[in-house]
Amino acid sequence: MIRVLIADDEPLIRAGIRTVLCSAPDIEVVAEAGTGTAAVEQARSQRADVAVIDIKMPGLDGLGALEALRRTAAATKVLMLTSFGAEPNVLRALENGACGFLLKNCTPDELIRAVRAAHEGDAYLSPAVTRMLLGLVNPAATHRRADAAHLLETLSARESDVLKLIAQGMSNADIARNLHMSETTIKTYVSRILAKLGCTNRVQVALLARDAGLTT
């Protein structure tokens, strides 16, 4: 079972998320929280596999909770929830280790897919968030482009092929089909890419690829 924590300061939102997740046979909601501080405490005490955290909460917000979880409960994968218009927060969260981003108006199936993907170590961005990121100008990108390009030079030709498809938002299964390789082999390539580039998840890899100009 995938052990999930839900953190949102609106009880009605938490109830809706809980109802959706509990409909999946492989997901168990083990804790809920209304603040970032409580989310960190509950994730640690309940050993949550995945934390679904609202980006805006009183006191310690979702971004602060993410940073605290990365320090004290690194095994817990974090999916961030937001509404439209939070582009800078999306970048900050992804660069600080969030494994995915969902809009609050996502479909039930999308929420369940995102939790499963996070638990498997994949990143998940809702299509709407992906479109938002691709159109977002990162003020630091011009300063980081040379460093990013230098890092990408350490990759083999096949690793570069995999990286380009990661940057397009493809899952391991999609990449395997595209490159006519097994999904297990692709997972090995992804692990090597993460290690070489010093990234903790594939979203960070995609952002680095974007900074290097591979997605433009």
CA distance 46 to 69: 13
User: Is residue 20 domain-shared with residue 109, that is, in the same domain?
Assistant: yes
Enter the tokens of residue 17: 């998320």
User: Is residue 16 domain-shared with residue 121, that is, in the same domain?
Assistant: yes
Q: What is the CATH number of the domain that holds 77?
A: 3.40.50.2300
User: Is residue 10 domain-shared with residue 67, that is, in the same domain?
Assistant: yes
Enter the tokens of residue 9: 């300061």
| 195-198 contact pairs (CB < 8 A, 24+) | 196/151, 196/154, 196/155, 196/159, 197/151, 197/152, 197/154, 197/155, 198/151
Q: What is the CATH number of the domain that holds 168?
A: 1.10.10.10
pLDDT recorded at residue 88: 66
User: In the block, which residue shows the tokens 């890419």?
Assistant: 193
User: Is residue 109 domain-shared with residue 148, that is, in the same domain?
Assistant: no
pLDDT recorded at residue 91: 72
Enter the tokens of residue 155: 């990759």
- Please state the φ and ψ torsions of residue 124, each to the nearest 5 degrees: -140, 125
Span of 5-9, 77-81, 190-194, 209-213 with lowest mean pLDDT: 209-213
User: Is residue 72 domain-shared with residue 6, that is, in the same domain?
Assistant: yes
User: Is residue 148 domain-shared with residue 128, that is, in the same domain?
Assistant: no
Enter the tokens of residue 136: 């977002």
Contact 172, 193 (CB under 8 A): no
Using H for helix, E for strand and C for coil, what is the string for 46-97?
A: CCCCEEEEECCCCCCCHHHHHHHHHHHCCCCEEEEEECCCCHHHHHHHHHCC
The region that residue 180 occupies, defined by phi over 0 for left and psi between -120 and 50 for alpha, beta otherwise, is left
User: How many CB atoms neighbour CB 17 within 10 A?
Assistant: 24
Q: Which residue has the higher pLDDT, 201 or 14?
A: 14
Reduce the DSSP state of residue 31 to 3 states and report it: strand
Quote the number of domains for the chain: 2
168 occurs within a structural domain: yes
| 124-131 contact pairs (CB < 8 A, 24+) | 124/79, 124/99, 124/100, 125/100, 125/101, 125/169, 125/203, 126/101, 126/102, 128/84, 128/103, 129/90, 129/101, 129/102, 129/103, 130/169
216 occurs within a structural domain: no
User: Is residue 130 domain-shared with residue 151, that is, in the same domain?
Assistant: no
Residue 148 binned pLDDT confidence (cut-offs 50, 70, 90): low
User: Is residue 127 domain-shared with residue 163, that is, in the same domain?
Assistant: no
Residue 117: pLDDT above 80? yes
Rg (CA), the chain: 17
Residue 127 binned pLDDT confidence (cut-offs 50, 70, 90): low
Span of 84-88, 147-151, 188-192 with lowest mean pLDDT: 84-88
User: Is residue 179 domain-shared with residue 97, that is, in the same domain?
Assistant: no
Contact 3, 47 (CB under 8 A): yes
Residue 145: domain span: 141-211
Enter the tokens of residue 144: 């980081």
User: Is residue 124 domain-shared with residue 145, that is, in the same domain?
Assistant: no
pLDDT recorded at residue 216: 53
